[in-house]
Amino acid sequence: MVRMPSKKSSTETAPKKPRRASGRPLADDAVGRDIILQTTVKLLKARTPEQLSILEIAAAAGVTRALVRYYFADLKGLLREVTESLMRELQNRMEVALKMQGTVEERVYQRLQLRLDFMREHPQFERLALSEIYHYESLGEPPPSGTPLQRITRRGLELTSTMLMDGAQAAPAGQDGRVDPRFIHLAILSISAFLPTARPLLAELFGEGPETDRQIEHYLRFMSHLLAERIRQDTPAQDHPPHPGHHPE
């Protein structure tokens, strides 16, 4: 009698699937977090942060809500990372622009114009910066690199100091009083933050259409000249407070 080979069970013949890490949705394993960030940035060009939802962002990115929550926990966490990503992009652009040769006035103008163009490109940027960076409240201990505001401010002041470098080199020898870089930093932020939100006022002052844009260009040149002149002047050291952490010897 010929004995037939016994039939193996499906569990013995089927190859075992590798186990995946728990928590991450299997259907979206090939999708990175960058597509979610990029999609949110794109949606924010036509929507306010309050109008967005995890469901809409996930649908636009072609992922599940579970994956969005896996990476960012909730909408607040996603918006915070989007804001920091945009701020890094803006400061990277500034760093590239400031490496170009030019006078102090040209450097100030480039930074004003670059920031204004960026805010036109991302109309919700200033609102996000206010809510997610300037008024950021951590629920735990800040990371070793500092809070978002500390990191952004530190790099912003470094960029401003680079911009002022030409003015410092051009100052008369032996006169070490300088305009406080923090003042220039605040002036640039204030000018570029106000203009995109003041279209009705600008229209009242300068008219509608291309005329407004021409006058804004003249205004940026005007402010660049004023700031550059102030930077080039000798400034007594007592005119401004010492930097944080500075202790006279």
Contacts of 48 by beta carbon, 8 Å cutoff, 6+ apart: 124, 127
Tell me, yes or no, whether 69 and 94 share the same domain.
no
Nearest CA to 166 among 114, 223, 98, 111? 98
Tell me, yes or no, whether 50 and 153 share the same domain.
no
Tens of pLDDT, residue by residue over 225-236, are 999 998 887 444
Distance between CA 25 and CA 30 in Å, rounded?
Answer: 10
Establish if 12 belongs to a structural domain.
no
For residue 145, report the phi and psi dihedrals to the nearest 5 degrees: -75, -10
Tell me, yes or no, whether 51 and 120 share the same domain.
no
Establish if 20 belongs to a structural domain.
no
pTM of the model as a whole: 0.75
The predicted structure's pLDDT at residue 129: 93
Establish if 229 belongs to a structural domain.
yes
Establish if 78 belongs to a structural domain.
no
Tell me, yes or no, whether 66 and 99 share the same domain.
no
The predicted structure's pLDDT at residue 211: 87
Structure tokens at 162: 């680079």
**Secondary structure of residue 249 in the 3-state scheme:** coil
Tell me, yes or no, whether 107 and 207 share the same domain.
yes
Distance between CA 37 and CA 214 in Å, rounded?
Answer: 34
Distance between CA 140 and CA 143 in Å, rounded?
Answer: 9
Q: At residue 147, does pLDDT exceed 80?
A: yes
Neighbours of 31 (CB within 10 A): 16
Tell me, yes or no, whether 66 and 95 share the same domain.
no
Distance between CA 138 and CA 118 in Å, rounded?
Answer: 27
Distance between CA 243 and CA 87 in Å, rounded?
Answer: 24
Distance between CA 124 and CA 89 in Å, rounded?
Answer: 15
Tell me, yes or no, whether 102 and 152 share the same domain.
yes
For residue 242, report the phi and psi dihedrals to the nearest 5 degrees: -65, 155
Minimum mean pLDDT range among 15-19, 73-77, 140-144, 201-205: 15-19
Tell me, yes or no, whether 48 and 152 share the same domain.
no
Q: What range does the domain containing 33 cover? A: 26-73
Would you say 114 and 72 are in contact if contact means Cβ atoms under 8 Å apart? no
Tell me, yes or no, whether 121 and 35 share the same domain.
no
Distance between CA 114 and CA 92 in Å, rounded?
Answer: 11
Would you say 94 and 112 are in contact if contact means Cβ atoms under 8 Å apart? no
Distance between CA 243 and CA 60 in Å, rounded?
Answer: 46
Tens of pLDDT, residue by residue over 159-215, are 988 887 754 443 343 344 578 889 999 999 999 889 988 889 999 999 888 888 999
pLDDT tier at 31 (50, 70, 90 boundaries)?
low
Establish if 7 belongs to a structural domain.
no
Tell me, yes or no, whether 57 and 165 share the same domain.
no
Tell me, yes or no, whether 158 and 50 share the same domain.
no
Distance between CA 38 and CA 22 in Å, rounded?
Answer: 26
Establish if 64 belongs to a structural domain.
yes
Compare 167 and 111 and report the one with higher pLDDT. 111
Structural domain count of the chain: 2
The secondary structure of 15-59 as a DSSP string is PPPPPPPTTS-GGGTT--HHHHHHHHHHHTTTS-GGG--HHHHHH
Tell me, yes or no, whether 211 and 115 share the same domain.
yes
The angle at the Cα of 112, spanning 106 to 113, to the nearest 5 degrees, equals 85
Instruction: Say which CATH number the domain at 38 has.
Output: 1.10.10
Distance between CA 149 and CA 132 in Å, rounded?
Answer: 9
Establish if 15 belongs to a structural domain.
no
Would you say 157 and 181 are in contact if contact means Cβ atoms under 8 Å apart? yes
Q: At residue 241, does pLDDT exceed 60?
A: no
Would you say 37 and 31 are in contact if contact means Cβ atoms under 8 Å apart? no
Establish if 107 belongs to a structural domain.
yes
Q: At residue 125, does pLDDT exceed 90?
A: yes
Q: At residue 88, does pLDDT exceed 50?
A: yes
